[in-house]
Structure 1
């Protein structure tokens, strides 16, 4: 009862606050603007969609005014792709500007930042704001690198709206000056004051809100695997001869000291000791750039390993192992730093994939925006068909398959699928960027070449646009060039290294000595990361557009090694229609069918069954007559994602398998030395 009374009093205080009316006025105006704009675009919101837009407009307004401490926080707004996320930001800015004009108080005395990944997206956002009637001089634009069609602005502390790249925010922690460049706002003096000799510096204050588009990971992990550190140390003397003469000894000594610390801590843990915190050797600040330049000359293709050691210099670090069922333990050194400074304590995060991003969930500073937990399905994907094939989709197998002279199933499937798509429909194929290694194939070029050799007109146009587009991961966020595409195909799936994900998990809890056994399993983190990437890539196509709560019709073809990816994607693509990729039926359909039966039968076994002979198991699930080779290939597709291992002639639950689990895939167990 006391708690209820306390909440009632708090609500009463908020309602009595003059800013409460301002919040309501701003949110209502912003919601009205974005709704009208979407209708004008032909994207008519359903009831649930409109409610989500209202919750977003209200949430942004509450955070801007921050009447109570609970409104000043880091909040995630999981608006699905294509439901007006960017236009909500434009409407929010337009409403704030218009109300300020009506009240004779520019921008209602408020200011805010918007951060996005792509600079071109920021420029497009600026263009939309200007089209909405916001004066160009009120919008700042900060970015680094090559100058685009709109150059960066100056005198940005005077501009109520500031558009910045994510990378710029993440670099502000380097110095107080960089931080102030984006956080501090100094309103232009009123004309009545501009002629007076008054020191207006005290009017400078922090900006009220940061709107962050897409995923927010507030930390940056640094890690180097044991094998990479060992290789650097083993070849240190020879490699250091490649460095400029003044730095050869320094480089060799630094590598030796780093490897010594890593090796000692690894051996301690293999001997059964608990992990301990270590500090890697420091490099004088004035030598960091020369070190990196020297390392690049020494690297011969291993620049990342050298650069990582330099980044980690002087940091608190730990050695940790990645433990996965049925696999060898992988070890390495991990450290981290906070990349989005805590000074940004009021952030509205527009993250469409928030529901599956487990790395974000590890950050206790980020919560769901108030009201989103009460919404139903905002956007349904009944009209989207997902054709799925179970199989390898990482960079290495994808490059090998497309570069091979022999006919590969994954390649022939894609070629056959493209050839079967009507000539009047667009096709978007996602694949990997060139890795940078001179022997690696250039997949976009190779895919078009193989399609052309199979008789596909890769130069064809539909209404002046390319019919066949091949895009690389990295462009799956912030680009809307393919909104007319009816067919999206994946020639590979971008996946982060598992040890890298473990390192990021440690960073996200901001505890270098975190108990890794209590963190979210890396397998689950990886699935969420992959699902988020796939969702963004899929949403570049026609299904991005939303009419009456429904995605426009589109077809997707996807290959991935883990069938659980379907469960993850269903959280982001509710009601999507799933089926098997029929191009795989001829060769892979039988194996997939056996694998499905094996997985279902293992899952249905009572928990007290610790093991079962393969012969008895095959009889029970109707696979007695399945050829041994087919059964073995089917098992190979399941081995990494079921809680069982094959030991001799029996299936054994991993929890009972002990040391039998590790050798099953032919890995050497690093713990054997213990």
Structure 2
């Protein structure tokens, strides 16, 4: 995409054939394909490169708890394969550390016992017959989302994050398009462009599955799990919905619970109250010890870390050093 405003309407306005379609038939691009048999599950959770890498590592080392992206993905893939579906998973190509995210995701599938499964496919295209043996679970990385048509037998697609460009990259593209390095950059415009490009990435990668096949104007049935975070002013879900006419959208309900904001807030208060009960001569205490004293062992490790950080931010008596809560003494302030 090279247009500054990359909404679907503006793309259509720049395409002669689509202009003629609207002039003669009053139809838009989305009207050409009935998506009534498509069902989308959206988990409103961040799944950027660092999250995917760290959650994969946690899963591989048996440390994954509620809120872990990979833990949920594995369970959803198990359900869909048990239903007799072939599943296509998309994720980022490389992490910020340069490591192959597709490969570590495959390792997680191996650990879960989901590798090596085969699927007998009857080619849906006319003129070809007979079952073909295919992988039942496939992992691909963004970059191939518009380059492969070999997964049209997959009736389930999982997006472990959605690829996006960096703000600096987009800002540079805006300056380059205007041929003016000193042009003003509107942050809201950058967010709008980024969201629109992510929508295109999603549409392209999701269309590698079975829904790419249309019969009598209707896309073949497909279920999709998408994991990304929507924000005010950058709502990918709302941008996507008009592109899939007739499709149903549902909020994904995690199988492994993560503490809600209300529970987190209550626990922060309990941590604060507990710390005031410690003897004066106690100058350090382990975070895990506090967790055990509050009988909060059921809280996910990542959630507990967030609760401790919130406690630290709300007062100036204790600081966090590694896994230890250390009391700030007068000497620490130069007295």
The TM-score with structure 1 as length reference comes to 0.33
Deviation of 1:533 after TM superposition, in Å, equals 0.3
1:476 aligns with 2:133: no
Q: CA, structure 1 residues 432+515, in 2 after alignment: closer, same or farther (shift >3 Å)? A: closer
1:318-333 alignment runs, 5 A limit: none
Deviation of 1:434 after TM superposition, in Å, equals 3.5
Deviation of 1:410 after TM superposition, in Å, equals 0.4
Per-residue displacement from partner, 1:357-395 (whole Å, max 9, x unpaired)? 98x79xxxx824232443141112111111111111111
1:375 aligns with 2:17: no
CA–CA distance in structure 2, aligned partners of residues 398 and 553 of structure 1: 28
Q: CA, structure 1 residues 513+396, in 2 after alignment: closer, same or farther (shift >3 Å)? A: same
Q: Aligned residue for 1:450? A: 108
Q: Aligned residue for 1:419? A: 78
Q: CA, structure 1 residues 507+465, in 2 after alignment: closer, same or farther (shift >3 Å)? A: same
Structure with bigger RCO (C-alpha 8 Å, 6+ apart): 2
Q: Aligned residue for 1:486? A: 155
Q: CA, structure 1 residues 569+436, in 2 after alignment: closer, same or farther (shift >3 Å)? A: closer
CA–CA distance in structure 2, aligned partners of residues 553 and 367 of structure 1: 31
Q: Aligned residue for 1:581? A: 252
Q: Aligned residue for 2:89? A: 429
SS at match of 2:143: coil
Deviation of 1:546 after TM superposition, in Å, equals 1.3
Aligned-residue CA RMSD in angstroms? 3.2
Q: CA, structure 1 residues 453+435, in 2 after alignment: closer, same or farther (shift >3 Å)? A: closer
Q: CA, structure 1 residues 356+526, in 2 after alignment: closer, same or farther (shift >3 Å)? A: farther
Q: CA, structure 1 residues 418+585, in 2 after alignment: closer, same or farther (shift >3 Å)? A: closer
Q: Aligned residue for 1:527? A: 195
The TM-score with structure 2 as length reference comes to 0.64
Deviation of 1:481 after TM superposition, in Å, equals 0.8
Asked if structure 1 preserves the Cα contact closer than 8 Å seen for 2:81 and 2:136, the reply is no
Deviation of 1:575 after TM superposition, in Å, equals 2.4
Q: CA, structure 1 residues 579+630, in 2 after alignment: closer, same or farther (shift >3 Å)? A: farther
Asked if structure 2 preserves the Cα contact closer than 8 Å seen for 1:356 and 1:532, the reply is no
CA–CA distance in structure 1, aligned partners of residues 179 and 242 of structure 2: 28
Q: CA, structure 1 residues 446+459, in 2 after alignment: closer, same or farther (shift >3 Å)? A: farther
Asked if structure 1 preserves the Cα contact closer than 8 Å seen for 2:40 and 2:224, the reply is yes
CA–CA distance in structure 1, aligned partners of residues 240 and 88 of structure 2: 19
Q: CA, structure 1 residues 371+630, in 2 after alignment: closer, same or farther (shift >3 Å)? A: farther
CA–CA distance in structure 2, aligned partners of residues 495 and 630 of structure 1: 35
SS at match of 2:47: coil
Asked if structure 1 preserves the Cα contact closer than 8 Å seen for 2:92 and 2:101, the reply is yes
Per-residue displacement from partner, 1:552-592 (whole Å, max 9, x unpaired)? 1001011101162111111322222111223x15414x74x
CA–CA distance in structure 1, aligned partners of residues 136 and 115 of structure 2: 9
Asked if structure 2 preserves the Cα contact closer than 8 Å seen for 1:356 and 1:529, the reply is no
Q: Aligned residue for 1:506? A: 175
Give the gaps of 5 or more residues in structure 1. 1-214, 220-352, 595-625, 633-647, 650-674
Asked if structure 2 preserves the Cα contact closer than 8 Å seen for 1:357 and 1:525, the reply is no
Q: Aligned residue for 1:516? A: 185
Q: CA, structure 1 residues 628+459, in 2 after alignment: closer, same or farther (shift >3 Å)? A: closer
Q: Aligned residue for 2:54? A: 400
Asked if structure 2 preserves the Cα contact closer than 8 Å seen for 1:428 and 1:485, the reply is yes
Asked if structure 2 preserves the Cα contact closer than 8 Å seen for 1:357 and 1:532, the reply is no
Asked if structure 1 preserves the Cα contact closer than 8 Å seen for 2:39 and 2:247, the reply is yes
Q: CA, structure 1 residues 514+502, in 2 after alignment: closer, same or farther (shift >3 Å)? A: same
Deviation of 1:487 after TM superposition, in Å, equals 0.6
CA–CA distance in structure 1, aligned partners of residues 101 and 184 of structure 2: 40
Q: CA, structure 1 residues 540+443, in 2 after alignment: closer, same or farther (shift >3 Å)? A: same
SS at match of 1:470: strand
CA–CA distance in structure 2, aligned partners of residues 497 and 628 of structure 1: 31
SS at match of 1:380: coil
Asked if structure 2 preserves the Cα contact closer than 8 Å seen for 1:425 and 1:485, the reply is yes
Deviation of 1:415 after TM superposition, in Å, equals 0.5
Asked if structure 2 preserves the Cα contact closer than 8 Å seen for 1:425 and 1:486, the reply is yes
Asked if structure 2 preserves the Cα contact closer than 8 Å seen for 1:543 and 1:554, the reply is yes
Q: CA, structure 1 residues 579+514, in 2 after alignment: closer, same or farther (shift >3 Å)? A: same
CA–CA distance in structure 2, aligned partners of residues 567 and 630 of structure 1: 33
